[in-house]
Amino acid sequence: MKIAIGADHAGYEEKEKIKETLSSLGVEIVDFGTDSPESVDYPPYAERVARAVADGEADRGILFCGSGQGMAIAANKVKGVRAALAWNPEIAALSRRHNDANVLSLPARFIDPLTAAETVKAFLESEFEGGRHERRVREIEEIEKETGC
């Protein structure tokens, strides 16, 4: 599995820590930055990760910012991306099983490293259930088509 990751300055430390978790899982990592805790704007990093997922260059994406919200909002502007904000393993697993989320956004200022690692593992190990959820994901895709988002 190939995972695209990215963070702003607030998420930099957590991003670096999660790379250890991903490596231990045998995951190939494509790091789109940032490469330091120096202040940066988050939208370009979210876009890079989201485009890598949408274009099939990565299987899934993981983003970090202070609250996780900004990254999720920005990533969701890329057609084909379903970014979910999660702060624990259960939410991450549900985002995969019910929403076929392909990008995970984590709140670096509100999640400890152990919980972040468990949340990432749940996101990577969970699969989309399909069924009634498939219809709903198709409805989301129709909204994308209609709005051009």
Task: Just list the catalytic residues.
Answer: 65, 98
Return the C-alpha torsion angle 65, 69, 72, 73, nearest 10: -130
Write the CA distances from 99 to 11, 13, 37, 79, 141, integer angstroms.
24, 28, 32, 15, 11
The position carrying tokens 């996780």 is: 68
Grouping H, G, I as helix, E, B as strand and the rest as coil, residue 105 is strand
